[in-house]
Amino acid sequence: MKSWWTSEKPLMIERAEKDDLPDLAKLHAECFKQNWGTAELTTMFEQKGVFILIARTSRVTGQANLGFVVIRSVAGEAEVLTIAVSPKQQNRGIGRKLMEAAIFQLYSDRAEALFLEVDDTNSAALKLYKKLGFKQVGERKAYYATSEGSGTALVMRCDLL
């Protein structure tokens, strides 16, 4: 009989290393039309205050990157630069796990607030952010030039302290 441990393929949340970035670029392209390539992710990865968390299955059970979040934290204020979960893995709690891990990290770093911008028609992302306690603090019309939605970005904030 298989144990729950091997049959469940537990999800790990880990800090990205530089050699993860080409695979994350592929994942980003699956999720966004205006996607970030390896070069853009590398530039971001090397910026001060930026960290990337990856959700993946363990090396023992066959490692696969299922999603990732890119955070920039400067002088007590942090921002979600992007979050992407592989389309086949969406709506299974992975985005929430990534956001929670990022928030725990920021909280222990004493960051005061986490901000993000999201298309106002992105219902899955909005549902996730609202559940985590994000509140709308602004709106940027015609922000996403190539958006399939209204193109309006909502600016959201979550207090961490």
Ligand X SMILES: CC(=O)SCCNC(=O)CCNC(=O)[C@H](O)C(C)(C)COP(=O)(O)OP(=O)(O)OC[C@H]1O[C@@H](n2cnc3c(N)ncnc32)[C@H](O)[C@@H]1OP(=O)(O)O
Are residues 67 and 94 in contact, defined by beta-carbon separation less than 8 angstroms?
yes
- For residue 124, the Cα-to-chain-centroid distance in whole angstroms is 13
Q: Which of residues 6-45 bind ligand X (CB under 6 A)?
A: 31
First to last CA, the chain: 46
In the complex, what is the shortest distance from the CB of residue 36 to ligand X, in angstroms, rounded to a whole number?
Answer: 11
| 122 lines the binding site for ligand X (CB under 6 A) | yes
Based on CB atoms, which residue is closest to ligand X, 3 or 12?
12
Are residues 94 and 55 in contact, defined by beta-carbon separation less than 8 angstroms?
yes
Which of 22, 123, 137, 140 contacts ligand X by CB under 6 A?
123
For residue 14, indicate whether it is catalytic.
no
Binding letters toward ligand X, positions 88-107, x by CB under 6 A: --xxxxxxx-----------
Helix axis angle for 123-131 and 94-108, nearest 10°, is 40
| 137 lines the binding site for ligand X (CB under 6 A) | no
Based on CB atoms, which residue is closest to ligand X, 123 or 150?
123
Residue 73 and residue 51: Cα distance in Å, rounded? 8
CB-nearest residue to ligand X? 95
| 151 lines the binding site for ligand X (CB under 6 A) | no
Q: Which amino acid does the sequence have at 117?
A: E
For residue 129, indicate whether it is catalytic.
yes
Strand partners, 17: none
- Of the candidates 81, 74, 134, the one whose C-alpha atom is nearest the C-alpha of residue 109 is 74
Question: What are 1's two structure tokens?
Answer: 């009989």
Which of 106, 111, 116, 154 contacts ligand X by CB under 6 A?
116
Q: Which of residues 46-65 bind ligand X (CB under 6 A)?
A: none
Query: Which residues here bind ligand X, judged by CB under 6 A?
Result: 31, 80, 82-85, 90-96, 116-118, 122-125, 127-128, 131
For the annotated catalytic residues, the residue numbers are 117, 129
